[in-house]
Structure 1
Amino acid sequence: MTRYYLSKNYNGLNNAGNKAKTDIEETLSKLGYKNAGLPQTTYSNKIAGFLITLAGVLKVLFTVSANDVVVVQYPFKKYYSFVCNIIHLKRGKVITIIHDLGTFRRKKLTAEQEIKRLNHSDVLIVHNDKMEIWLKEQGYTKPMVCLEIFDYLSPSVNNNTQEPNQKPIKVIYAGALTYKKNRYLYSLNDVMSKWQFELYGGGFEEAKIEDKTLFKFKGFVPSDQLIEQVSAHFGLIWEGDSIHTCSGDFGIYLRINNPHKVSLYIRCNLPIIIWKEAALASFVAENKIGVCIDSLEELDSILSSISAESYNEMVRNIKEINKKIASGYYCKRAVENAESLLQLT
């Protein structure tokens, strides 16, 4: 039996989705997996990228043999069902690692269509137990393994320290900053007095902010550089239109999704502020690496009530999780568990 993963062309590595996928390829390679396709490329030209990825998929026909295992990362656009069929035609087995669900992310698939597609896999690696429950409720019946949290590989290290009692308390948010994507950002003026917001990303519409002194716009910073440079107290996980709850499509998705930025914040040694109903809230609470909130209106009182002892404990715990995600621990564990399940099927 030979173990494979399938690489492809990635249109740039500055977005979270591609970063997560290339990290997994690197981790699998260290586990002894071989690339069944063509070498990883990062061409921005769509035609070149399409042809390279297609050629890599077709190469699987000549690479995979009976009883081989292939890890496929999902979504894989138009190729997913096709490549799974090729692997099964060659009498191999498929482990699928889910990054995003089309039912939620772009709403281009119904739940029924998504389940039909995922049924091409022999074992699924899903984000968390909430996603596992949702897939079962939609009719998925094959074995599943929970990743728990995404790893984040980077040689960068954050050696900055923040005094827990330093004022103002600095909270960062990294991601899309447009009014359309995260309208809540533009409604914070009335609920912020004891903390300052540092924003990393693109699309910030500063003209829509009433009190600009509460915000520091840092622009887009490459992740390796961000890990080294950021100096703040917390990282925020919040999505949607409202400061009262995570609303809209992106807020709903938080209930079953593992945002990659949680792992980025951990690499920055930042305790997490997260919506209580987010899927990763239980991970944050159980590992004591942050605070879970119902509404952003609570932040002033919650942040001012955190003792220096409690904050320092969060940072110590974050640093332990940091070591794990920097080494590919969660991916390795999930893949090994998936391999064990394959032996039972």
Structure 2
Amino acid sequence: MVCYLSRNYKNADIAGNKAKMDIEYIMKKSGFRNVGLKQALHSNVIVAFFYTLLSVLKGICCLHKGDVLVLQYPFKKYYVLVCKMAHWRGVKIITIIHDLGSFRRKKLTVSQEINRLNHSDYVIAHNEKMKSWLEEHGCKSLLGTLEIFDYLSSTKAPVREVQKPFRVLYAGGLSLRKNAFLYEAGKYVGLSCRFSLYGNGFETERAAGKEHIDYMGFVKSDDLIANAQGDFGLVWDGASVSACIGNWGEYLQYNNPHKTSLYIRCNLPVIIEKKAALADFIHRNGIGICLDSLENLDTVLATVTSQQYQEMKQNVALISDRLADGYYFKQAVTKAIAAL
């Protein structure tokens, strides 16, 4: 029997929680057995702590020899405990990675992270670049890849008419500390595009080229899918418009930002840095543009014809349908189960 361990989540609309909740839903619909308590939302820290603890204890007790247990990582302090107890009961572990604590947040050293993941029998990495990084740093588990995160939503993106200048949409953290590039990017747009920014914390008065920027504020994901004011979705992080640098920007070379999946569900082609791990997926599927630098954004968009844009939109629609159906996780976990 393939099992999973449900957890408490604080906020269903936060990207990390949304991805984990979606995967739980896909597993439930695929016939996997939840050995923990039911999926729940608790904002109270104490209630959440005891709920998760009880779910872990119940889950361990409900496992049987020959089961396969799917864990979503990070699982905080319980991960190693659950892996050890599951193995003691004759259970195989599949781990799907959402975030690596040794990168941008530096909560773990690389060796600590790898030692944790080595308690799993099979690890599903985000992509080939993350898989290679894990191998190079000593991960002994069997390894596979997700390709891209699925994104469940019953909301349908409407068909929009497109007119130049293109609107480039960015959703996420807008503070100067996290994404200083947003405060310089306005200098490099004008004739061929302008920005639509969604999120909290944007300081409009400190932005260069603010006449080319529309700050839309925070919008829930389903509302964004229904009403996104954009023609492309931008995947970029860090301090510089010329490259994704710093702890946040460099992480793009290994991870799959969940906002990429959100853009695709909005039926928006994606603009991404060429060195980003997901750039291969974007290029291979013909669903966007890979850039060396945002300094070239306006020039590159000026060359995009109506036919080229419509071809990208058609390709995006195909991938969006897959994301809505849980295609990528189901494909990855099926391969993992077969390997065990």
TM-score by length of 1: 0.97
Partners of 1:155 and 1:136 lie apart in 2 by 37
Partners of 2:3 and 2:301 lie apart in 1 by 47
**Residue 185 of structure 2 contacts residue 209 of structure 2 at CA under 8 Å; is this kept in 1?**
no
Letter in 2 for 1:249: N
Aligned-pair CA distance for 1:101:
0.4
Partners of 2:273 and 2:59 lie apart in 1 by 42
Q: Provide the residue aligned with 1:61 in structure 2.
A: 60
The total of aligned residue pairs comes to: 339
**Gap regions ≥5 residues in structure 2:** none
The structure 2 residue matched to 1:329, chosen from 317, 327, 330, is 327
Partners of 1:162 and 1:341 lie apart in 2 by 46
Aligned-pair CA distance for 1:149:
0.3
Partners of 1:138 and 1:83 lie apart in 2 by 23
Q: Provide the residue aligned with 1:42 in structure 2.
A: 41
Residue by residue over 1:1-55, the C-alpha shift from the partner in whole angstroms, topping out at 9 and shown as x without a partner, is: x211111110111210000000000000111101111111110011100000000
Partners of 1:107 and 1:251 lie apart in 2 by 14
Q: Provide the residue aligned with 1:76 in structure 2.
A: 75
Identical aligned pairs, as a percentage? 50
Letter in 2 for 1:189: G
**Residue 187 of structure 2 contacts residue 208 of structure 2 at CA under 8 Å; is this kept in 1?**
no
Q: Provide the residue aligned with 1:276 in structure 2.
A: 274
Asked if 1:30 is matched to 2:29, the reply is yes
Letter in 2 for 1:284: I
Partners of 2:94 and 2:261 lie apart in 1 by 23
Aligned-pair CA distance for 1:142:
1.8
Partners of 2:293 and 2:208 lie apart in 1 by 20
Q: Provide the residue aligned with 2:166 in structure 1.
A: 169
Q: Provide the residue aligned with 2:180 in structure 1.
A: 183
Partners of 1:86 and 1:162 lie apart in 2 by 56
Letter in 1 for 2:295: E
After superposition, where does 1:159-308 map in structure 2 within 5 Å? 159-163=158-162, 166-193=163-190, 194-308=192-306
Residue by residue over 1:64-88, the C-alpha shift from the partner in whole angstroms, topping out at 9 and shown as x without a partner, is: 0101111000001111101111111
Residue by residue over 1:54-110, the C-alpha shift from the partner in whole angstroms, topping out at 9 and shown as x without a partner, is: 001011232001011110000011111011111111111110000000111310111
Letter in 1 for 2:18: K
Aligned-pair CA distance for 1:119:
0.6
Aligned-pair CA distance for 1:141:
2.1
Partners of 1:63 and 1:141 lie apart in 2 by 27
Residue by residue over 1:226-252, the C-alpha shift from the partner in whole angstroms, topping out at 9 and shown as x without a partner, is: 101113210000000001000101111
Q: Provide the residue aligned with 2:100 in structure 1.
A: 101
Partners of 2:257 and 2:78 lie apart in 1 by 24
**Gap regions ≥5 residues in structure 1:** none
- After TM superposition, the runs of 4+ consecutive aligned structure 1 residues lying more than 3 A away are none
Residue by residue over 1:118-150, the C-alpha shift from the partner in whole angstroms, topping out at 9 and shown as x without a partner, is: 011010011000000000000112211110000
**Residue 60 of structure 1 contacts residue 87 of structure 1 at CA under 8 Å; is this kept in 2?**
no
The residue matched to 1:340 in structure 2 has which SS? helix
The residue matched to 2:38 in structure 1 has which SS? coil
Partners of 1:54 and 1:78 lie apart in 2 by 10
Partners of 2:159 and 2:250 lie apart in 1 by 34
Partners of 1:208 and 1:96 lie apart in 2 by 42
**Residue 184 of structure 1 contacts residue 243 of structure 1 at CA under 8 Å; is this kept in 2?**
yes
Asked if 1:117 is matched to 2:88, the reply is no
TM-score by length of 2: 0.98
Partners of 2:60 and 2:105 lie apart in 1 by 30
Q: 153-162 or 203-212: which moved more?
A: 203-212
Asked if 1:146 is matched to 2:175, the reply is no
